[in-house]
Amino acid sequence: MKRYKQVEVSETQLEDLVRTGTDLIEEGLKYVDHQKHTAKGRLDVLLVDSGQALVVAELKIIEDDAMLFQALDYFDYVSNNVEAFARLYVSSGIDPKQQLRLFLIAPSFSQTLINRCKWIDANISLFIYKAIKFEDSEDIVPVFSEIEIPGPPEPIEEKYTIEGRLAYITDSEIRRIAEEFLKELPQWKKDKILIEPIKYSISIKVANRVFMYLSPRRNAFVIETYNPEGKWTGFPVNSKEDLKGLQDLLKANMEKRLE
């Protein structure tokens, strides 16, 4: 068996090891580009996987918790411009309809970073690497190992109810205003208004089309609907007067959903 030793590498060397050793990271993975300039900075490495999904890879030669946030900035930029990247690298066969992936590659990851990853709704993979050199060669060989990201704990099963959503409001007067408003709503369009509790809010539909959400807060609630310019907007309600000032807008939006 050949003798070898682990060696340290520079960031440039690590990029080269990733570029030339894509199959050692994941079968079918291919190199696309590196140090691509973007509005968020320079992307370390771009790859494409065997399913033609674009992969953003962030590399570090030390353990660094900040790499996650830096990588998410790049991930955000590429997500918003994935079709442009597919056109730019047409020879790589990138399918912009495939879910974008994010790789973090470093010699180690803290438990803090690993725990943060489990709460992020993005396709993230973590790879630790070792760079080794055999005694009879000057070549550096990378060894990549994927680190499992644990899933978030299973949520306690909850049956959503209007009463449960309203109970989140701790101010009794505000809660009463919200309760009275929800009782009044069905009179706006008899038999066409549907009020449903959802995870964090109360959905209000007319003819099965949402025109408003009522989102409880501790000492207020927020009415989410379209503003006069047609933009979805949250309007805080701290009093009856606040709610009264919104009713014409809400009724107008309701009528538009019926058109």
Q: Could you tell me how many residues make up the chain?
A: 259
CATH number at residue 49: 3.40.1350.10
Same-domain check for residues 83 and 173? no
Mean pLDDT, residues 127-142 = 90
Using alpha carbons, select from 203, 220, 222, 219 the residue that is nearest to residue 211: 203
Q: What is the pLDDT of residues 33-72, one digit of tens each?
A: 999 988 888 999 999 999 999 999 999 999 999 999 999 9
Residue 50: beta bridge partners? none
Could you say which DSSP state residue 2 is in? Answer: -
Q: Which H or E element spans position 79?
A: helix 66-80
* Cα–Cα distances in angstroms (integers) from residue 225 to residues 63, 216, 241, in the given order: 45, 14, 17
- Domain extent, residue 205, equals 162-258
| pLDDT surpassing 80 at residue 229 | yes
Same-domain check for residues 92 and 16? yes
| pLDDT surpassing 70 at residue 1 | no
Same-domain check for residues 174 and 108? no
* Cα–Cα distances in angstroms (integers) from residue 5 to residues 107, 128, 130, in the given order: 15, 17, 10
**Which range is least confidently modeled, 4-13, 50-59, 122-131, 175-184?**
4-13
154 lies in a domain?
no
Same-domain check for residues 118 and 181? no
What total number of domains does the chain contain?
2
What is the model's pTM? 0.69
Q: Which H or E element spans position 84?
A: helix 82-88
Joined together, the tokens standing for residue 95 give: 């399918």
Q: Is 223 helix (H, G, I), strand (E, B) or coil?
A: strand
Same-domain check for residues 32 and 131? yes
- Out of 90, 118, 147, pick the residue that ends a domain: 147
Same-domain check for residues 37 and 142? yes
- Out of 92, 114, 147, pick the residue that ends a domain: 147
Task: Please state, in angstroms and rounded to a whole number, the distance separating the CA atoms of residues 10 and 111.
Answer: 24
pLDDT exceeding 90 applies to what percent of the chain?
Answer: 87
153 lies in a domain?
no
User: pLDDT at position 60, please?
Assistant: 97
- Long-range contacts (CB closer than 8 Å, 24 or more residues apart) made by 14-23: 14/59, 14/61, 14/105, 14/129, 14/131, 15/44, 15/45, 15/59, 17/129, 17/131, 17/140, 17/142, 18/45, 18/57, 18/59, 18/105, 18/142, 19/45, 21/142, 21/144, 22/47
* Cα–Cα distances in angstroms (integers) from residue 72 to residues 33, 36, 52, 101, 113, in the given order: 18, 16, 21, 11, 13
152 lies in a domain?
no
